[in-house]
Structures are given as structure tokens and as C-alpha cells.
Structure 1
Amino acid sequence: MRATLYDILGIGFIAGSAYFFVRTVNFLAEADYVAALIALAVAFAVVRAGVDLSRLAVAASRED
């Protein structure tokens, strides 16, 4: 059960990071480079959290 929850959350985080990548492109199109850099940093942090949750899901599934 835990592995499924971690897997769903991990995929959700990775999919949710797409929003921040799209916002980064929009900020770059508007020549707002500081906002684009901040949005890019947030996007990478969210992707990293999603990958860590997915890694945790794999470890939890091996435990069961």
C-alpha cells in the first residue's frame, strides 16, 4: 500500500513540475529572466522530490 502511494505521489510531482517548466518558458518569452530562473529552480526541486519519492516506492515494494 505504501509503495503505491509513494509511486502515485512521485508521478504527480514529476507531472506537476511540467507546470513550472511551462512557466519558465513563458517568463523567458516575456524577457523576465529573474522569474524564469526562480521558476526553473523550483521545477528542478519538484522533479528531484518526485524522483526521490519514486525511488522510495521501489524500495518499499522490495520490502513487501
Structure 2
Amino acid sequence: MVDGRRLHFTAVAGDFADRESGSRWNVLGQAIAGPMKGRRLARIDHVDTFWFAWVAFTPETEILR
């Protein structure tokens, strides 16, 4: 979301483009070209891990469908 506007992204030549404005974004969430150039997406805290490592330390994890 940027200024309350929900953006939808697709991969384009090593970067990303949003469907709404056509701006190009890098993997750091920075608009590098287009009408939103210079804008940044809000960071979202997350964990990037392998499943076997996650389940080894958090065996109470439940898998939902």
C-alpha cells in the first residue's frame, strides 16, 4: 500500500512493476522509475527459513489447509 492505495506487482526483467501506475520497483521496495519514483513500500517483518529448521525449533507448529 502506498498512500492508502493497494498495489499489485508482477515481475519484469529482474525488477517488479505495479499494475496501477506502471512504476518499476526493486527488491528493496523502492520505486526506481515511473510516476512513483522515489517512493518506498513499508517494511514487513518476516522470517525466511527452511522448513526443517523451523519445525526443529518450533515443533508445536500446525499446518493448516
Identify the TM-score tier after normalising by the shorter chain: under 0.3
* TM-score, with length taken from structure 2: 0.27
Name which one, 1 or 2, has greater alpha-carbon Rg: 2
Q: TM-score, normalised by structure 1?
A: 0.27
Report which of the two has the higher share of strand: 2
